Structure 1
């Protein structure tokens, strides 16, 4: 879930800023002309800036691993270089250079994915080694790809064709192709995984139909119609943490929320309302079998259970469904650097009420004597093509830094980076050797 500026990457938008929610939608990041900024959501529907790098480098891509201290960034000045930082220490852990512009970066607790226009690079997040490269992918100039947040179902989804909406699913743990989904007739525009990694939402460049598939079964579970009046550019699909709702944002002023739970007939009728499309759907049910199959297919598609209206149509917008003080919220961030907080009534649905509006980067600069720094104490750059022998001298230092970044700040919610079931702890740098022999360590 990202949008930004400066290049033709996923969610980019020339003239705006890069904004992205973290994997569990408890915080967000913003890339600006002077660095990157980290924000957390507060219990009163507010936003608190928790870090500003103030590096002076125009940041076009940035992603934070849940609520940990690990941050991956790409700058306009070096669009082929990925920089991995420990933001709390203000240190650069490592960096890697690639043969072409980096268009997207995705993280979970097991893998880091770097997307180029015609290749995908899979890193082990524990030591940042490249495990596999998917080469010669269909041209993907927007860097469209999605990585499941779930380690148990660690799948990568990316376009399998530049002509139709075919989705390739790759297992990033076992490093093999999982399946192919024929999702749309038109090329893909948006992809999103549920938190469990078993459902994938897709939208095409036409922007009228949104589908949800079971993976790896490839079963189509849901089909929703965003609208019938015009084609739009869908910039974001986002599941709620519970998997029961899906938000869709586009270049229009309306953000839709779809319910992914089976509805009884009375609920379907209530959601249809009194509009002309609702009347057609009622008529289609009454005359089932009398209409052409493709017409019945359109009328059978689900409609949004709730919607939020932005003050103006954004160039690009990102949406997230989360909970603030146990109350459902729909968050919408735009490339103008504005975050809108809406109340979401999951029972009644309908129009979402705007609660707060935050201008993320309109804040006074921090104390000049102690600015946030991203590059202090940085390690020397390393090209991704270097051999393991060339990288060996820095492995211990890098492993210790990665371990501190990954385990230093466990996220809120059911996941804990220190829990062996969710993320086995890294081994820190080896202690100085003792003159006395040490018993062997369990591996």
Structure 2
């Protein structure tokens, strides 16, 4: 996510079970529980500097961090030790991070590099178009195949690779390329078990859902008729629900019941980048780079209403990160 200077937030990211999120800030780092909204831990700029990226490793004490001062380094922050315990250097800045319990994928300028956890040895490398959006997604369930998806060199295409088959001593796998859109990709997401892939292009009018086994498109989900910049797509834990949020300030939710059907559309605020996730199969949440938190309840009949609102930068015991 892009830097939003008005709040000082540099990026927001949910953990793999969508129960927590990391708020990276020019004045440090904060980790929150989603429901209820509670600050779990925080670090000031004096502690660790300006943080630009953070990926939580499920609900463990390990945080995968990139700072503004060391943009080419992935550092492991152990929250129990309250300090960095490992660091890996790269030749180019790290632009995005996606992790599962045993692997982490790092998007650089022209490659996606996959490291094993906890050794941090490289186990896979995928080449991507130079300068494309920093996109990748990885299946988070502890199952095989362990799919990783990222942009391919052909416009609007995605490449898939099973990173469980590229470790030393195992059979190497060549990425499979899927044509998804005619325009450049802006967002993509795998279901936790890796069987479904959802994508959006720079037009932002539809979300396409693919079967990763057969490499075929299953559904087109209509987001709207106006062009939009899709910031986030997320599946729920079972892959039966999809949510997305764009620069229109609206979160859309679809359900897989035979054909995918739209359940709800809930508007928060436009003109701020946001991330969305599921609390459960009846509640979803949107966190925004203006520091706002929005909880929505929805029903199969299509009813949706906001049930909670907060300013998460003001949640906590101190005001170190406030402007």
The answer to whether the superposition gives a TM-score over 0.5 is yes
Q: Which residue of 2 aligns with 1:5?
A: 3
The structural deviation recorded for 1:253 is 2.1
The structural deviation recorded for 1:170 is 1.2
Q: Which residue of 1 aligns with 2:155?
A: 164
Superposition map of 1:297-312 within 5 A: 304-310=262-268, 312=269
State the Cα deviation string for residues 239-266 of structure 1 (Å, max 9, x = none). Answer: 1112111001000021111112215xxx
- Residue 28 of structure 2 contacts residue 50 of structure 2 at CA under 8 Å; is this kept in 1? yes
Structure 1: state its 5+ residue gaps: 7-11, 264-301, 369-443
Aligned residues: 311
- Name whichever structure is richer in strand by fraction: 2
1:145 partnered with 2:142: no
Please, which of 252, 258, 269 is the counterpart of residue 256 of structure 1?
A: 252
Please, which of 296, 309, 317 is the counterpart of residue 357 of structure 1?
A: 309
Q: Which residue of 2 aligns with 1:53?
A: 43
The structural deviation recorded for 1:216 is 2.5
Secondary structure (helix, strand or coil) at the match of 2:227 reads: coil
State the Cα deviation string for residues 390-438 of structure 1 (Å, max 9, x = none). Answer: xxxxxxxxxxxxxxxxxxxxxxxxxxxxxxxxxxxxxxxxxxxxxxxxx
1:186 partnered with 2:191: no
Between the aligned partners of 1:70 and 1:177, the Cα distance in structure 2 is 31
1:348 partnered with 2:295: no
Change (3 A) 1:34 1:222: same
- Residue 9 of structure 2 contacts residue 24 of structure 2 at CA under 8 Å; is this kept in 1? no
Look at both structures and tell me which one has the larger radius of gyration over its CA atoms. 1
Q: Which residue of 1 aligns with 2:215?
A: 218
- Residue 140 of structure 1 contacts residue 159 of structure 1 at CA under 8 Å; is this kept in 2? no
Q: Which residue of 1 aligns with 2:31?
A: 38
Between the aligned partners of 2:194 and 2:86, the Cα distance in structure 1 is 28
Please, which of 224, 239, 252 is the counterpart of residue 243 of structure 1?
A: 239
State the Cα deviation string for residues 39-95 of structure 1 (Å, max 9, x = none). Answer: 1134xxx31101002243111100101111111011112111111111122121211
- Name whichever structure is richer in helix by fraction: 1
CA RMSD between the two structures: 2.2
Q: Which residue of 2 aligns with 1:18?
A: 11
The structural deviation recorded for 1:354 is 0.9
Q: Which residue of 2 aligns with 1:103?
A: 95
Q: Which residue of 1 aligns with 2:197?
A: 200
Secondary structure (helix, strand or coil) at the match of 1:238 reads: strand
- Residue 314 of structure 1 contacts residue 334 of structure 1 at CA under 8 Å; is this kept in 2? no
Between the aligned partners of 2:6 and 2:108, the Cα distance in structure 1 is 17
Q: Which residue of 1 aligns with 2:293?
A: 339
Q: Which residue of 1 aligns with 2:284?
A: 330
Change (3 A) 1:134 1:195: closer
- Residue 8 of structure 2 contacts residue 25 of structure 2 at CA under 8 Å; is this kept in 1? no
1:70 partnered with 2:28: no
* TM-score normalised by L of structure 2: 0.90
Structure 2: state its 5+ residue gaps: 167-172
